[in-house]
Structure 1
Amino acid sequence: MTTPVLAPRRPCFERDLAKRLATDEYARCSELLTRLDPHHWSAPTVNTGWDVRDTAGHMLGMVQMMSSLPQLLNQMSTSTRQAKKAKAPVSIDFLTALQVRRNAGLTPAELIGAWQRLAPKAVRGRGRMPGFLRGRAMPEAQLVGGQLERWTFAYLMDVILTRDPFMHRLDICAATGLDPRPTAEHDGRIVDDAVQEWAGRHGQPYSLELTGPAGGVWGAGTDRITMDALDFCRIISGRGEAAGLLTTSVPF
Structure 2
Amino acid sequence: MTAALAARPRTSALDRDTAMRLAATEYERVVALLQGLTPQDWARPTDCPAWDVRAMAAHLLGMAEMSASMRESMRQVKAAQARGGVFIDELTDLQVAERTGMAPAGIVARYAEVAPKAVKARRRMPWFVRRQKMPAAQVVNAREETWTLGFLSDVIMTRDPWMHRTDIARATGAPMVLTAEHDGVLVDDVVSEWRERLGRPVTLRLTGPAGGTWGEGGPELEFDAVEFCRALSGRGTAPLDTEVPF
Choose which of 240, 243, 249 in structure 1 pairs with 2:243.
249
Alpha-carbon RMSD across the aligned residues, in angstroms, is 1.4
Greater CA drift, 121-130 or 55-64: 121-130
Question: Is structure 2 residue 199 aligned with structure 1 residue 203?
Answer: yes
Greater CA drift, 132-141 or 161-170: 132-141
Residue 80 of structure 1 and its aligned partner are, at CA, apart by 1.7
**Residue in structure 1 matched with residue 31 of structure 2 by the alignment:** 30
**Residue in structure 1 matched with residue 166 of structure 2 by the alignment:** 170
* 1:146-161 alignment, distance < 5 Å: 146-161=142-157
**Aligned residues: percent identity?**
48
- 2:169 & 2:95 partners in 1: Cα distance? 21
- 2:108 & 2:93 partners in 1: Cα distance? 19
SS of alignment partner, residue 227 of structure 2: helix
**Residue in structure 2 matched with residue 138 of structure 1 by the alignment:** 134
**Residue in structure 2 matched with residue 65 of structure 1 by the alignment:** 66
Q: Which runs of 5+ in 2 are unaligned?
A: none
Residue 212 of structure 1 and its aligned partner are, at CA, apart by 0.2
2:201·2:219 contact (CA, 8 Å) conserved in 1? no
Residue 222 of structure 1 and its aligned partner are, at CA, apart by 4.2
Residue 74 of structure 1 and its aligned partner are, at CA, apart by 0.3
Q: Which runs of 5+ in 1 are unaligned?
A: none
- 1:210 & 1:153 partners in 2: Cα distance? 30
Moved over 6 A (4+): none
Q: Deviations over 1:158-192 (max 9, x none)?
A: 00000000000000011111111110000000100
Greater CA drift, 234-243 or 3-12: 3-12
**Residue in structure 2 matched with residue 232 of structure 1 by the alignment:** 228
Q: Deviations over 1:19-65 (max 9, x none)?
A: 10000000000000011111111111111211111110000000011
Greater CA drift, 34-43 or 21-30: 34-43
**Residue in structure 2 matched with residue 98 of structure 1 by the alignment:** 94
> What is the aligned residue count?
243
SS of alignment partner, residue 40 of structure 2: helix
Q: Which amino acid aligns with 1:223?
A: P
